[in-house]
């Protein structure tokens, strides 16, 4: 048996891990590289022949795990794509959205003769998304009675809750080669415990010798979520009391639904006043609908908080989901107080940029930063305290209050990652993926000290190992 790391090895994005058992090949995730300027080149082709892959398992719908599936199918992949039911529904929206952006970007490249002539066309289209969607095959979570699913004559699959976003799963493979049986677990992205809406990550019950684990926050310990929720309430109250507007840049998938849930709960508890709240992202609105469809994946706490009949955690009286761009523009002229949650999360594009343009120069207003802001983004400049920033081609003074909420992360911290690994029986080798070098380095040192008996490996892109 063999494993090769083609992405998220020495970095965070582009997850693609190829597992070989006998003459069969199973690909774990097929994600897009994101971030700096060379990524488009890296996403133009796949590092293996798609028609040599037998099956694909998708851990969750984030683009850095799913965004290359259409290219895989377009280039000759013949097998299925196994995922949870919720992931299948979420992934379709994410892939369609990506195809739309790719089409618009290609049009721009053509018009402005941007890049080499042979690189201007769209990498995939909405039709390619439809073809990829046909390959999805649902697998039930172990929590809901899902047992082993035979995906190849010598490979079985089981899914456990990962607690990261709706539908996210920990993958366990049981593989047989020449009479020898080995089990491997892959965390996908692992959530923290206590993530609103979702079940906490579940440690697989079977003996497993090999773990591929994410390390996004391999060197960080989160503050308790309860503290962050208190701080959120205080900040909201302060801005609402002075009649200000709150702009909350947030990713459409996951972060938006978590924020809606928290603001809903704070309103019900009387910790914040009832005031108008808008979710202004068509993708977020569609994804919220997918959440409603998969209430079976809401955890017990969600049911306790919103147990009243007819109650929906993602809907309440003063919350409006904005659809058309006309309604979105109307918010620009509206007096405060109100809150608008909008994409993109790093303020690089989308409707949120317009909301920032119309609010940032007034000291009564506030910007709530709730997630990671990459180098070079508008979000990063605001976060670092720049007093003057460029928005939509003009310069604006940053007078609005900037609040940072670091603890709404959808990833486990270093203690939780270690506790998860320690919960697995029979673990011998651990592969560290999906983390910037310093995060993976620190996590490696941490678990090497606690568990000298484990073989801990930090693969680089293209590295191959026999199991």
Which residues contact Zn ion (rule: CB under 5 A)?
Answer: 62, 189
Closer CB to Zn ion, 90 or 331, in the complex: 90
State both tokens at 440.
């993976």
Closer CB to Zn ion, 189 or 416, in the complex: 189
The contacts of residue 131 (CB under 8 Å, 6+ apart) are 70, 73, 74
Closer CB to Zn ion, 174 or 189, in the complex: 189
CA angle 205, 207, 210 (to 5 degrees): 115
Among 240, 243, 247, which residue's Cα sits nearest to residue 396? 247
157 phi and psi angles, rounded to 5 deg = -130, 140
CB 206 within 8 A of CB 199: no
Query: To the nearest whole angstrom, how small is the minimum distance from the Cβ of residue 439 to Zn ion?
Result: 15
Closer CB to Zn ion, 94 or 272, in the complex: 94
383: preceding bond cis by omega (within 30 degrees): no
CA angle 167, 220, 227 (to 5 degrees): 75
CA distances from 364 to 246, 399, 403 (A): 9, 8, 13
Query: To the nearest whole angstrom, how small is the minimum distance from the Cβ of residue 405 to Zn ion?
Result: 19
Question: What's the CA gap between 1 and 466, in Å, rounded?
Answer: 6
Query: To the nearest whole angstrom, how small is the minimum distance from the Cβ of residue 348 to Zn ion?
Result: 18
> For residue 326, with 0-12 CB atoms within 10 Å meaning exposed, 13-18 middle and 19 or more buried, which class applies?
exposed
Residue 252: count of CB within 10 angstroms of its CB = 25
Closer CB to Zn ion, 175 or 212, in the complex: 212
Question: What's the CA gap between 204 and 160, in Å, rounded?
Answer: 7
Query: To the nearest whole angstrom, how small is the minimum distance from the Cβ of residue 189 to Zn ion?
Result: 4
Closer CB to Zn ion, 24 or 62, in the complex: 62
Q: Rg for the chain (alpha carbons), in Å?
A: 22
369: preceding bond cis by omega (within 30 degrees): no
Query: To the nearest whole angstrom, how small is the minimum distance from the Cβ of residue 62 to Zn ion?
Result: 4
Query: To the nearest whole angstrom, how small is the minimum distance from the Cβ of residue 157 to Zn ion?
Result: 19
Closer CB to Zn ion, 102 or 189, in the complex: 189
Please tell me the total number of residues recorded for the chain in this structure: 467
Query: To the nearest whole angstrom, how small is the minimum distance from the Cβ of residue 123 to Zn ion?
Result: 21
Residue 446: alpha-carbon gap to chain centroid:
25
Query: To the nearest whole angstrom, how small is the minimum distance from the Cβ of residue 244 to Zn ion?
Result: 32
Closer CB to Zn ion, 83 or 367, in the complex: 83
């Amino acid at each position: 048996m063999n494993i090769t790391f083609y992405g998220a090895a020495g970095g965070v994005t582009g997850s693609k891990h190829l597992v070989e058992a006998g003459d069969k090949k199973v690909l774990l995730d097929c994600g897009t590289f994101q971030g700096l300027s060379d990524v488009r080149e890296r996403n133009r082709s796949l590092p293996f022949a798609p028609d040599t892959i037998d099956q694909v398992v998708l851990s969750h719908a984030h683009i850095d795990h799913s965004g290359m599936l259409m290219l895989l199918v377009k280039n000759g992949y013949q097998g299925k794509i196994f995922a949870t039911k919720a992931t299948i529904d979420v992934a379709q929206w994410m892939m369609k959205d990506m195809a739309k952006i790719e089409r618009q970007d290609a049009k721009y490249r053509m018009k402005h003769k941007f890049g080499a002539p042979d690189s201007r066309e769209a990498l995939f289209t909405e039709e390619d998304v439809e073809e990829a969607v046909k390959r999805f095959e649902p697998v039930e979570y172990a929590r809901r009675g899902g047992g082993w699913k035979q995906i190849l004559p010598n490979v079985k699959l089981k899914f456990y809750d990962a607690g990261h976003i709706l539908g996210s799963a920990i993958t366990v493979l049981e593989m047989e080669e020449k009479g020898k049986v080995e089990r491997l677990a892959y965390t996908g992205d692992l959530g923290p415990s206590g993530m609103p809406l979702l079940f906490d990550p579940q440690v697989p019950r079977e003996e497993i010798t090999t773990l591929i684990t994410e390390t996004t926050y391999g060197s960080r310990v989160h503050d308790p979520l309860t503290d962050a929720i208190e701080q959120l309430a205080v900040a909201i109250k302060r801005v609402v009391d002075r009649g200000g507007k709150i702009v909350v840049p947030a990713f459409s998938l996951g972060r938006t639904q978590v924020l809606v849930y928290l603001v809903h709960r704070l309103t019900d508890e009387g910790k914040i006043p009832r005031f108008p709240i808008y979710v202004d992202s068509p993708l977020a609105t569609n994804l919220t609908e997918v959440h409603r469809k998969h209430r079976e994946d809401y955890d017990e706490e969600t049911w306790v908080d919103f147990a009243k009949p007819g109650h929906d955690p993602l809907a309440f009286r003063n919350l409006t989901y904005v659809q058309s761009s006309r309604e979105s523009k109307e918010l620009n002229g509206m007096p405060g107080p109100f809150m608008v949650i909008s994409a993109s999360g790093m303020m690089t594009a989308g409707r949120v940029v317009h909301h920032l343009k119309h609010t940032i120069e007034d000291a009564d207003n506030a910007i709530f930063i709730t997630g990671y802001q990459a180098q070079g983004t508008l979000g990063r400049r605001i976060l670092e305290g720049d007093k003057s920033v460029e928005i939509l081609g003009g310069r604006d003074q940053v007078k609005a209050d900037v609040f940072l909420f670091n603890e709404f992360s959808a990833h486990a911290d270093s203690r939780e990652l270690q506790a998860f690994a320690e919960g697995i029986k029979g673990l011998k080798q651990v592969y560290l993926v999906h983390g910037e070098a310093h995060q993976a380095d620190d996590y490696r040192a941490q678990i090497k000290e606690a568990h000298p008996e484990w073989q801990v490996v930090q693969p680089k892109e293209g590295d191959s190992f026999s199991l």
